[in-house]
A = this chain, B = another copy of it.
Amino acid sequence: MTTQLTEEDTSIHEHIHDYIGELRQRAEGIEILEPGTGTTRYSHDAATAKTAASSGNPGPAVVLPTTAAEVQAAVKLAAELGVTVVPRGAGTGLSGGATAHMDQIVISTEKLTRIVEVSPLDEVAVVEPGVINADLNRHLEPFGLFYAPDPASFDISSIGGNIATNAGGLRCAKYGVTRESVLSLDVVLPNGSLITVGHRSIKGVTGLDLTSLFVGSEGILGIVTKATVRLRPIPVARKTVTAFFNSTAEGAEGLAAITLSPVRPAAIEFFDTPSLANIDAHSGTALRERGAALILIEIDGYGIGDQAAHLATALSAAGGRVTVESDDDAVQLWELRRSGRGLPQDKWYIGEDIAVPKSQLPKVYAAFPALEARFGVEISAVSHAGDGNLHPLITKDKTPDDGANPPASLTDAATELVKVALSLGGTVTGEHGVGTIKREWAALELSERSRDVQHAIKAAIDPQQLLNPGKAI
């Protein structure tokens, strides 16, 4: 969908002022930003930032609790006054899930930043939601442990936001997405009460799995105030293996060689020809000299030499030119992958997040040329190939005739691409979430019955429809 905002309501609402006044009385010392006092950025997330910045929107009221009790007080009052609430993490989302309007209040967890505990013997950390993903991992390193989910935004995104979106990342090919690393949550419900779901024990099947339900619920069911997450030992070794191919199609087909091998790498990233060219153009690298498509692999753990040898055999047989990279080259390659270099600053662009069953990746890449011709756009994609999750980038040159928003051909091409993913048994969002931006697409994916069940669950937990209305489902 487009990143276009509807016409903005920029007035400051009376009932929001009432809410702020009352909350200040009830929760002494609670930090509140009044609408328009530097709150513009809270009206949007990373998906809509550009458009919003130029909208003149003063921004909503923002509550910045530092304790779970303050979150409870803020939510409870909102329920009493019927004010709708937008929960917010670090605001790095890419689906508009934290978009807020002037008649709403934002409750941001950015100041709940305590790492409460690290237990090497239980292999868990207890953290507040505002802890930045990378900060947690820096904190864990001396313990010889790491927290596996690593969205590309890990340097700036928070654990709370990662939980709300069930964030993926590069290493989930081996270690699973955020859901697989969350054991227990403290959650403030829409009525302001606080519940603990899940267990510090790794296993536990008492009752329905509310933990999994809250993970990925995009702020529509509750606000997480504490999380017990699973940790893993830092692997004894890590090594980067590359395989360059002569074409996007050959490289995409080559991925099957990894699947059919006994090696399960920590990360498997696939770059098509235009993605490599983009990186070279913006970073001064010469990846295109090495080939027209790249599978970038991180293996880790024991027997790293055998793992590399088995991969080399499998990928060479598939036509790849395989290299075990030096540590320095490995650092550079992963930095290029993570930094998003190659984003076209001078073009219109939309970044997408489709996922398909692994075997269908080549068919998605093969569908690009026809879409490019039909819509007059260019499409490239880097993929988390280990779990079939593509991030297509659809671009179009800017022209003097363009308006403030991307041309319709761009969003039309994105919609068709999403339909390709669905026709191959895939999904409209692999790891970013539905938010506001992918709601129409979600309706293409989910049956009416499935949506009915989801709405029934939402109504059961949030009968007033107070939390993040208009998002996710």
Contact = CB atoms under 8 A, between A and B. Distances in A.
Given A201-B426, A355-B203, A234 B262 contact: yes
B430 A197 contact: no
A359 interface: yes
The bracket for how many chain A residues form the interface is 35 or more
Contacts of A120: 259-260
A429 interface: yes
Most chain B CB within a 10 A radius of its CB, from A121, A124, A202, A233: A202
A199 B259 contact: no
Given A189-B449, A212-B212, A264-B232, A358 B123 contact: yes
Given A200-B425, A357-B122, A213 B205 contact: no
Contact of A387 (B201, B360, B389): B201
A388 B206 contact: no
A203 to B, nearest CB: 4
A204 interface: yes
Contacts of A217: 208-209
A213 B202 CA distance: 17
A199 B425 contact: yes
A104 interface: no
A295 interface: no
A261 interface: yes
A387 B202 contact: yes
Contacts of A360: 122
A387 B459 CA distance: 35
Contacts of A200: 357, 425-426
B201 A355 contact: yes
B461 A430 contact: no
Identical chains in the assembly? 2
A234 to B, nearest CB: 7
Interface in A175-225: 176-177, 179-180, 189, 193-197, 199-210, 212-213, 215-217, 221
Contacts of A454: 207-208, 210
A307 interface: yes
Interface stretch (A2-10, A38-46, A321-329, A440-448): A440-448
Contact of A204 (B165, B180, B310, B355): B355
A256 interface: yes
Contact of A203 (B212, B215, B263, B430): B430
A467 interface: no
Contact of A473 (B172, B207, B306, B458): B207
A431 interface: yes
Contact of A389 (B168, B195, B203, B307): B203
A101 interface: no
Given A203-B431, A460-B460, 19 more contacts: A121-B256, A121-B259, A123-B358, A176-B176, A189-B449, A195-B450, A201-B430, A204-B429, A204-B430, A206-B427, A207-B446, A208-B454, A208-B458, A212-B213, A233-B261, A236-B262, A301-B301, A301-B302, A457-B461
Interface of A: 119-124, 144, 165-166, 168, 172, 176-177, 179-180, 189, 193-197, 199-210, 212-213, 215-217, 221, 232-236, 256, 259-264, 301-304, 306-307, 310, 355-360, 384, 387-389, 425-434, 438, 442, 445-447, 449-451, 453-454, 456-461, 472-473
